[in-house]
Amino acid sequence: ATHAASIPRNYPSITPPYATLIQNLEHIRNVLTRPLTLAEKILYSHLHDPISGLGNGGRIRGEAYLQLKPERVAMQDASAHLQFMSAGLARCAVPTSIHCDHLIQASEGAKADLERSIISNQEVFDFLESAARKYGIEFWRPGSGIIHQIVLENYAAPGMLMLASYKNSHTPNAGGLGMLAIGVGGADAVDAMTGTPWELKAPQIVGVHLTGNLSGWATTKDLILHLAGRLTVRGGTGRIIEYFGPGVHSQSCTGLATIANMGAEVGATTSTFPYTSNMQSYLHATGRGPVAQAADEAAAKGFLSADEGAEYDEILEINLSDLEPTINGPFTPDLATPLSRFGAFVKEQGWKDELSAGLIGSCTNSSYEDMTRVADLARQAKAAGLTAKIPFLCTPGSEQIRATMERDSVTSTLQDVGAVVLANACGPCIGQWKRDDKKGEENAILTSFNRNFRSRNDGNRQTMNFLASPTIVTAMAFSGSLSFNPMTDSLTLDSGKPFKFSPPSGQDLPLTGFTPGDTSCYPLPTPAPQSDAEVVIQKDSKRLELLEPFTSPFSDGNLELPSLKVLMRVRGKCTTDHISAAGPWLKYKGHLTNISENLRKLFDRFFCGEVNVAFDHDAPGGITETDTIPNVAKRFKAKNQSWALVVDDNYGEGSAREHAALQPRFYGCNLIVARSFARIHETNLKKQGVLPLWFSDKADYSRIGSCDVIQTIGLANLLQGQLDTIIKLKVTNRRGETFEIPTKHTMSTDQIKWLRAGSALNYIRSQMQS
Ligand code: F3S
């Protein structure tokens, strides 16, 4: 296929520096003399210091901290941008792009929805565009598509290491092109954007050996739905999933991207595949012939696949010939039921056998292959005189996909049977779906998206959301029933005759190449930074605010935290969602002051079991007052009173939302003492300059209460580089009793520098200035 597009391509910025990476790997092989997996090759060849970055070797996976040099960053919103701006650089150290895909609500159809969203979010889009201009960032305007699809079509390349920030769990989608793409918080993205080494605890590697062939109705979506059932939502935590075996090579590149995309549903750091001829074809078809040629050469040198005999931490076998379509859910992506059992499952649960909507597309499943397969089913249905029985919505992943679908009559074929094609944006996948007819009502929807927790799509907790391949969603949209199995069941036509779908077929790439569509939403090919450009933030904006650097609590030379007041002891499960609520608050994520008002969610399960209540024992007049969490925290902040939290086990589990660390820090939190922390949140706290400490004896958790005063003993030694220091907490409780509690820390040498500077950003800024 030829690429007919006029989408600008900048080859140096999108071709990994293979010669350097291969050379780096030679240094690594002097230290690690064993065969390497593909994921290890990509990670280790991106070490900031490939000569001594792995020390003397030994056990790396699951233990060592790697200092890495990603080649590219993609961002979705204002948060990372604002943090980058406060680092004080004139330009990004690596090529960076920004994408507007979350704020477009699906309501009337693509054109009207896009126009309305541009007006209602104008100030955010103006800010992003102006900041992109100033710093030389590629700006993808609203309507251009979903970040992960755009990355796959334009930037992804075999062997590359890239990061994407904020709400980027599905960044690994780009793994479909044989690379490592990792979703991170804004502060991590800023590391890469400023050329600071980015730290990652070396993940374990799970190998998935694929044999056999998919056939009939089974797709790569069914593979990952099946795998999610086997691994569960936690099975991939701290691990990279690396697929290998003959079954990899028979899948299209975009089919592999679907698998990689949903590795997020099992908690994997990312997923990847060895370079295949289908990846090569996809690079050519998307106008990146020179990248394909460079990748061919790198593959010939063994860089883009695992070494013979490479060892994995665990190996799973999947015979593709045995796979059947699978439906997962509701409410969790790991509840997997084979299609042949699904009707019985619905009956066992006592659910109404009724489907209320079918949704296809999103960043997970809107490839040309997906769309031509569903169009094949739509054509069969139309020929039989059928139309969809329920609302049937389609979200193209990008303008290129939308325009190519339109040119090749895929869109009109879908519309002929009643489908509505929405804007090229996240839409209903992220809850941007104006759906009024089912409010509060129990109902079931089927989507080809990737997430299905409660309220995800339409804000209705009663909507049961099941995940399936686009072809299963499409076929079932013609039956309107949950128990319909298109592989075995027939529909009854008006004539009374039975109609049965034939297994769908499609094309992985368009024969005449992709067409770019409306290029006005694409970025300039190589935007140069314009240092004199003004970054547009409206006066009195409620959605955007420049970030003030956090002050270091050690700037007066005292390296202990002298008198921290305990704001609260948190009891039980506390996820990042409890700390920083999402939903309607998301629109404030570029305004730290306003979003910090949602800190109140923290207290759903807290002290006294009351919601959003904190005590202030030093209220004016010497009395004890109760107030909302943000109000007490604000009062502490106004008095310059640093404070601490005492928290339970696995504090900060859930999504990697960095506002859960930013917000407490904003109000003056300097210390959190936990029975245990969730790893990503613990790192986020360190990045924002909050010291996380673990109780040496978990029973000590109960000895500290609200408004007790804590002082650290031994922190000064840690801040001076003594990593084996034991930090004690001297606690003075409200009865005036004093006692000491031993703790443990997990700070690395680099993280100590962040803490001392007040935040990782402060440290980066000081490095840049010096
Ligand atoms: Fe958007 Fe849903 Fe993908 S929110 S980025 S389409 S997972």
d(C-alpha 442, C-alpha 275), whole Å: 45
pLDDT > 50? residue 191: yes
pTM for this predicted structure: 0.89
**Pairwise CA distance, residues 328 & 467, whole Å:** 5
Contact 263, 241 (CB under 8 A): yes
Average pLDDT of the segment spanning 267-293: 96
d(CA 144, CA 77): 15
Q: Is the Cβ–Cβ distance between 229 and 328 less than 8 Å?
A: yes
Cα–ligand 1 centroid distance for 412 (angstroms): 25
Determine the pLDDT at residue 583. 63
The pLDDT value recorded for residue 180 is 98
Residue 512 CA to ligand 1 center (angstroms) comes to 28
User: Which atom of ligand 1 has the smallest separation from the CA of 76?
Assistant: 5
pLDDT at position 607 is: 42
Task: Read off the pLDDT band of 6 (50, 70, 90).
Answer: very low
Pocket test for ligand 1, best of 104, 449, 452, 455 (most atoms within 8 A of CB): 449
Helix (H/G/I), strand (E/B), else coil: 290: helix
What Rg, from alpha-carbon coordinates, does the chain have? 26
Q: What are the strands of the beta sheet with 161-165, ordered from one edge?
A: 138-140, 96-99, 72-75, 161-165, 180-184
pLDDT average, residue stretch 422-439? 87
- φ, ψ dihedrals at 695, nearest 5°: -60, 130
Q: Is the pLDDT of residue 604 over 70?
A: no
CA distance 358 to 477: 6
What's at 71, amino acid-wise?
Answer: E
Q: Do 729 and 741 form a contact (C-beta atoms < 8 A)?
A: yes
Query: What is the per-residue pLDDT across 202-251, written as a single tens digit (0 to 9) for each?
Result: 999 999 999 999 999 999 999 999 999 999 988 998 899 999 999 999 99
Place of tokens 């008006």: 494
Query: What pLDDT digit, counting tens, does each position of 630-678 carry?
Result: 888 888 999 999 999 999 988 988 776 788 899 999 999 999 999 999 8
* Nearest ligand 1 atom, CA 364: 3
Task: Tell me the best of 166, 365, 393, 426 to mutate to test the pocket of ligand 1, counting ligand atoms within 8 Å of each CB and taking the most.
Answer: 426
Spatial distance between the Cα atoms of 471 and 503, rounded to a whole number of angstroms:
9
Q: How far apart are CA 225 and CA 767, in angstroms?
A: 45
Q: Which atom of ligand 1 is nearest to the CA of 173?
A: 3
Q: Quickly list DSSP for 18-42.
A: HHHHHHHHHHHHHH--S---HHHHH
Burial 514-540 (b: 16+ CB within 10 A, else e): bbbbeeebbbeeebebeeeeebbbeee
Query: Between helices 679-687 and 760-769, what is the axis angle to 10°?
Result: 40
List helix spans (H) across 537-608: 576-579, 592-595
Span 267-288, average pLDDT: 96
The pLDDT value recorded for residue 171 is: 94
- CA gap 149, 282 in Å, rounded: 13
Give the residue, 657 or 471, on which the prediction is more confident: 471
Residue 164 near ligand 1, beta carbon < 6 Å: no
pLDDT, tens digit, for every residue of 511-535? 999 999 999 999 987 778 999 999 9
Q: Which atom of ligand 1 is nearest to the CA of 430?
A: 4
Identify the pLDDT of residue 608: 45
pLDDT at res. 290:
95
Other C-beta atoms closer than 10 Å to the C-beta of 347 total 12
Residue 288 reports pLDDT greater than 90: yes
Backbone angles phi, psi at 537, to 5 degrees: -125, 120
What CATH number matches the domain at 11-322, 3.30.70.270, 3.30.499.10, 1.10.10.10, 3.40.50.920? 3.30.499.10
Token pair for 154: 């334009």
pLDDT in tens, 141-177: 999 999 999 999 999 999 999 999 866 789 999 999 9
Count of C-beta atoms within a 10 Å radius of residue 114: 19
How many beta carbons lie within 10 A of that of residue 135, not counting itself? 23
Q: Cα 256 to the chain's mean position, in Å?
A: 18
Domain coordinates in residue numbering, the chain: 11-322, 326-500+514-519, 564-769
Q: Are strands 198-201 and 180-184 parallel, antiparallel or unpaired?
A: unpaired
Q: Is 146 in the pocket of ligand 1 (CB under 6 A)?
A: yes
564-769 sits in which CATH class? alpha beta
Q: Report CA dihedral (707, 713, 718, 724) to the nearest 10 degrees.
A: -110
Whether the pLDDT of residue 2 is over 50: the answer is no
**How far, in Å, from the CA of 430 to the mean position of ligand 1?**
6
The pLDDT > 70 percentage for the chain reads 95
Dihedral pair phi/psi, residue 614, rounded to 5°: -130, 160
- Distance CA(412)–CA(419), nearest Å, equals 9
What's the complex ipTM? Answer: 0.99
Whether 152 is in the pocket of ligand 1, judged by its Cβ within 6 Å, is no
Instruction: Name the amino acid, one letter, at 716.
Output: A
Q: How far is CA 551 from CA 274, 400, 447, in A?
A: 46, 46, 46
The string of DSSP codes covering 161-189 is EEEEESS-TTGGGGGGGSSEEEEE-HHHH
- Pocket test of ligand 1: the residue of 140, 148, 401 to mutate, having most ligand atoms within 8 Å of its CB, is 148
Name the residue of 146, 152, 173 whose CB sits within 8 Å of the most ligand 1 atoms, as the mutation to test its pocket: 146
CA of 762 to the centre of ligand 1 (A): 32
Structure-model confidence comparison of residues 325 and 599, the more confident one: 325
- Residue 726 CB neighbours (<10 A): 14
DSSP conformational letter for 607: G
Query: Please, what is the Cα angle at 740 between 735 and 744, to 5 degrees?
Result: 135
pLDDT of residue 3: 40
Q: Topology of 326-500+514-519 in CATH?
A: Aconitase; domain 3 (3.30.499)
Distance between CA 277 and CA 289 in Å, rounded?
13
Q: Would you place residue 600 in the very low, low, confident or very high pLDDT band (cuts 50, 70, 90)?
A: low
Is the CB of residue 429 below 6 angstroms from any atom belonging to ligand 1? yes
- The string of pLDDT tens digits covering residues 343-384 is 999 999 999 999 999 999 999 999 999 999 999 999 999 999
Bridge partners (DSSP) listed for residue 595: none
Sorted by sequence, the CB contacts under 8 Å of residue 395 that are 6+ apart come out as 106, 146, 359, 360, 361, 362, 366, 422, 423, 424, 425, 426, 427, 428, 429
| Residue 351: both structure tokens together | 């659910």
Q: Which residue has the higher pLDDT, 402 or 110?
A: 402
pLDDT of 87 above 90:
no
Domains 326-500+514-519 and 564-769 share a fold: no
DSSP state of 557: S
> What integer is the mean pLDDT of 428-435?
86
Mean pLDDT of the chain: 91
pLDDT higher than 80, residue 46: yes
426 lines ligand 1 (CB under 6 A): yes
